[in-house]
Amino acid sequence: MQGSRPLVRVVRLGLVSYQEGLRLQQVYVDRHRSGPAHSLLLCEHPPVYTTGIRHQPYPASRLDPLRLLGAEVHRANRGGLITFHGPGQLVCYPVLDLSGFRKSVRWYVAQLEKTVVSACGSLGVTATTSPHTGVWVGDNKICAMGIHCGRYVTSHGLALNCNTDLSWFSHIVPCGIEGKGVTSLSRELRRDVSVHEATPHLLAAFGEHFHCELSEDGEYSVLN
Amino acid sequence: MAMRATLRCLSANFSPRLPLLSSAGRDNRAARLRWVSGTRRTFSSCSVLSTALKFTEKHEWVQVEGGIGTVGISSYAQDALGDVVYCGLPEVGQRLEQMDEFGALESVKAASELYSPLTGEVTAINTQLAENPGLVNKDCYAEGWLIKMTIEKPEEVDALMDQAAYDKFIKSLEE
């Protein structure tokens, strides 16, 4: 077994509500109870704003106007402040047991950032990291991150703007960082870049930075 | 994924300035046996620890004094987390079973759960962490303490690792 790379199963959920995404993540988190069951959930969400464990800056009075825009609003037990998910954004939830990789969330988040930087690079976009967690093109965030870790099992993850309607972000201060903007692969490349196009680049980069084997056995999520 | 423990939000208005980095907490893995007392503490002004630190496999430490256990995370843990920007801690009075989730620390956009090392009731939480969550990194064995709790089952303390065992445990992880 020595030297063998961990196996991570890719699960394509398609367009699912944020709530359904949470439920499915929990299903995959729970699978780790009976042994390694690393998974990489991929999906898109209908428009939704989410906040993390630091929800105090976002009382109902601040969140209710967002619902009037036609988006859902959810609290999540992830790190990071407020963000938006919507169609055209590649959402990736790695559900890994860090015992099979490295037991450090700091390392894990750094690897996720490198994964996205590589994926952007292979699409022709030069992206960088910064002291603010996430992936940036200059002062504009192209990919948000916020994760949860319990008993070394990760959930939540990252959201890469492909051809997202970025005007949704104008109603919030994304990730609580004033003075910065957002961007997308489509905006940077000045052509339409879909989630479908970006996904293989993200998967290849993930396999590279996490030294793992990705499996796509065609079995979709168990909806029980 | 919902936490069973109720979280008390201690976060003040978080501004996106960078937390100060300090190497003090990161380099020192040895237990600090001198207890720094200060006026902000809720407890008495003992200046020397009466018992040594015990450690869990989840890299938390417990220090028992006068029947009360003070809980924090080890230097190894704070290093693995990165700079802590927020501490979600339980309410005073909350009863915890050993291994119950009692809160979370946020660092690098990651919310990492905390697990109770012992069975008991929360008697105090470190309110300094609301304004200064970085204490968990800078001074993890003293000013960065998280909660204090009663000790319902002293045998749980006995079963925890002492400093030597914990140091050995860390070495085995790094191999």
pLDDT tens digits in sequence order for chain B, 175 residues long: 444 444 444 443 343 344 433 444 444 444 444 344 333 444 444 434 457 899 999 999 999 999 999 999 999 999 999 999 999 999 999 999 999 999 999 998 999 999 999 999 999 999 999 999 999 999 999 999 999 999 999 999 999 999 999 999 999 987 7
Of A126, A179, A129, A143, nearest in space to B82 by CA = A129
pLDDT in tens, B117-145: 999 999 999 999 999 999 999 999 999 99
pLDDT at A218: 54
- Matching residue, tokens 């697990």: B115
At residue A101, what is the residue type?
Answer: F
Max CA pair span of chain A = 54
In 3D, which of A88, A49, A70, A71 has the Cα closest to residue A187?
A88
Six token digits for residue A126: 């030069």
Task: A167-171: list long-range contacts, CB under 8 Å, 24+ apart.
Answer: A168/A47, A168/A69, A168/A71, A168/A84, A168/A86, A169/A84, A171/A49, A171/A65, A171/A66, A171/A69
A171-180 pLDDT, tens digit per residue, is: 998 777 777 8
A183 pLDDT above the threshold of 70: yes
8 Å CB contact of B109 and A55: no
Domain extents for chain A? 7-218
Q: Please tell me which residue of chain A has the smallest CA distance to B112.
A: A149
- Which amino acid, one-letter code, is at B39? T
A144 annotated as ligand-binding:
yes
pLDDT at residue A97 in the model: 97
Check if the beta carbon of residue A90 is closer than 8 Å to that of residue A172.
no
Catalytically active residues of A, by annotation: 175
| Complex-level ipTM | 0.91
Within 8 A of A54 by CB-CB distance, chain B residues are 9, 11, 14, 86, 106
Record the tokens describing residue B125, joined without a space.
């939480």
Q: Which homologous superfamily does the CATH classification assign to the domain defined by A7-218?
A: Bira Bifunctional Protein; Domain 2 (3.30.930.10)
Query: What is the strand order of the sheet A48-51 is part of?
Result: A72-75, A48-51, A83-85
Mean pLDDT of chain A: 93
Residue B6 distance to chain A (closest CA, Å)? 12
Residue B63 CA to residue B71 CA, distance in Å, equals 7
